[in-house]
Structure 1
Amino acid sequence: MKTILKQRTFTWMSLFMMSLSINAVQAATLPQATEKKINDITQMLHDNPQVVDNLHESLQRYIQQTSQLETVIQQNENYLYHNPNHPSYGAKNPDLTIVFFTDYSCPWCKKLDPVLHELVVKYPQLKVVDILIPLKEMNSSANSATFALNIWQNKPDAFSQTSQLLIKKPGSHDARSLLQVAKKTDTVALLDEQDDIQKQVNKNYQLFAQLGLQGTPALLIDGEIIPGYLPIEKLEPIIKAKLEK
């Protein structure tokens, strides 16, 4: 996924630079290094005109996808950022909110979760919102997402312990593993599926698809999608840059 993102970024940059006219480049106040890159890319396009048509098509597709992403975020801002039905932690009045698309049966989600908790401790102006999506349990009537959401909304004092136990288990969850967690947290009654919780999970799926996401984990930070797992040494600079804007 990260490779695909890098390829898209490179294609977009190439196309964007191609679309700039020489006069526009000269009129703009750009760092010298940036101007050199623009000139280099322009020359490469002139030397390889056979790639122009494909690049032009890719740019149009990228612009459409970007526009769709912005539209989906704007239309669902309250649902993503201000919905008390989603598990969340961190600042009550955050300077920056991280939306975390996660799955309790995803090993990389389990690895990223403590990274986000560490960042919230280091940067108290941060907030994290979990959008639970049971991709690996799609065919199960009861799953870790509906179970966790049921606890968050009906027995919040038990949520932290429940969430940690769900994360701690290696591999995917099933009815047996969920029952074990429920017994340890005295939440067996909350294993039962509820219509409103299932509707929320369905909505999570819908947004996941509309945002063009293909797997978990994925982060939505200040309008930017960051797919896949990142260790703290790579994610922290992104967070610091966003906070300093």
Structure 2
Amino acid sequence: MVLEQEAKRLGTSVNELRKSMSSPDSAISQKQIEEAFSETTSLQTGLAEDEMKERLRLDLENQIKIKTFQTRLQELRNRTGVEIYLSEPEPPLIRISDEGPSSGSPSSPVTIVEFSDFQCPFCKRASETVRELARLYDGKVRIVFKHFPLSNHPDAFKAAQASVCADEKGKFWEYHDRLFNSQNLSDESLRKIASDIGLETKDFSACLESSRSKEQVMKNIQEGRKIGIQGTPFFTINGRPVRGAQDISEFRRIIDRQLAGER
């Protein structure tokens, strides 16, 4: 409602207003890139330093756009006199299928749907958060993985296809972990990882080049676009959106509230 009113006042569309509100005041600094690089040294396997830093710059831009929009939206609410009483209302629930590789019982009271990109350093960090959540809430949380390879990550789509092929043989999560730990997503590396975890090379290669693996990835991408995903990682927790590689405390806050509701 606030966005619609502001767009009308400015004589623009809501989409254009969203874009302008997401544009940060300044570019990513070299210091920010260096700090992110030093925090992700475990992700450097097989990558040149300049390639890793460029990847981090692009991912930082996505994260900052999200935070910039959230900040400016709150400023707009303040300017227009929109007041939030008691507690901020929950964002609208996102309806998304829970089809895809999963861990945890289908009867778990909490389902986390994760849209991710194997070439995204922040997705790697978020995957570790998800693993810890699965440990902390064993038996209470189900994790569902969906692919959302970004266009600025040239190897991500093929890696997503490869994991679809691993999933067909019941090896998705093992392959998922190897991809994030490697970050070398060349065709040769994708096939080597498959061989290392016991997948038959000929069958895997045929699947990797098949239309069915591509179609599965595209299906996930279309699901993500439909609900407005622009960057990764992106999560829903029982339909509640969580954008970016948030601290585990934010995930726990939402999960605990959902579990309290179940009881």
Counting only pairs closer than 5 Å after superposition, residues 146-225 of structure 1 correspond to structure 2 as: 146-152=161-167, 154-156=168-170, 158-170=171-183, 173-187=185-199, 188=201, 189-191=203-205, 192-225=208-241
> How far is the alpha carbon of 1:198 from its aligned partner?
1.7
Look up the match of 1:236: 252
- Could you list the per-position Cα deviations for residues 51-108 of structure 1 after superposition, in whole angstroms to 9, with x for gaps in the alignment? xxxxxxxxxxxxxxx8xx76xx44xx4xx21x2xx11112220211111001111111
> How far is the alpha carbon of 1:221 from its aligned partner?
2.0
Cα separation, partners in 2 of 1:141 and 1:113, compared to 1, 3 Å: closer
- Could you list the per-position Cα deviations for residues 179-207 of structure 1 after superposition, in whole angstroms to 9, with x for gaps in the alignment? 22122123233133332322221111112
> How far is the alpha carbon of 1:122 from its aligned partner?
1.4
Point out the more displaced range, 3-12 or 86-95: 3-12
> Which runs of 5 or more structure 1 residues have no equivalent in the other structure?
21-29, 35-65
Which is helix-richer, 1 or 2? 1
Count residues with an aligned counterpart.
Answer: 189
Query: Do the aligned partners of 1:2 and 1:228 also contact (CA within 8 Å) in 2?
Result: no
Which whole-Å CA distance do the structure 1 matches of 2:194 and 2:175 have between them?
8
Point out the more displaced range, 111-120 or 219-228: 219-228
> Quick one: percent identity of the two aligned structures?
24
Which residue among 101, 110, 113 is the counterpart of 2:124? 110
Query: Do the aligned partners of 1:162 and 1:182 also contact (CA within 8 Å) in 2?
Result: yes
Query: Do the aligned partners of 2:120 and 2:153 also contact (CA within 8 Å) in 1?
Result: no
Look up the match of 2:41: none
Look up the match of 1:2: 67
Which whole-Å CA distance do the structure 2 matches of 1:114 and 1:138 have between them?
20
Look up the match of 2:3: none
Tell me how large the CA RMSD over aligned residues is.
3.0
- Could you list the per-position Cα deviations for residues 144-166 of structure 1 after superposition, in whole angstroms to 9, with x for gaps in the alignment? 111111111x210x333222111
Which protein has the larger Cα radius of gyration, Structure 1 or Structure 2?
1
Point out the more displaced range, 108-117 or 7-16: 7-16
Which whole-Å CA distance do the structure 1 matches of 2:109 and 2:189 have between them?
37
Which whole-Å CA distance do the structure 2 matches of 1:142 and 1:134 have between them?
5
Cα separation, partners in 2 of 1:129 and 1:144, compared to 1, 3 Å: same
> Which runs of 5 or more structure 2 residues have no equivalent in the other structure?
1-65
Query: Do the aligned partners of 2:233 and 2:245 also contact (CA within 8 Å) in 1?
Result: yes
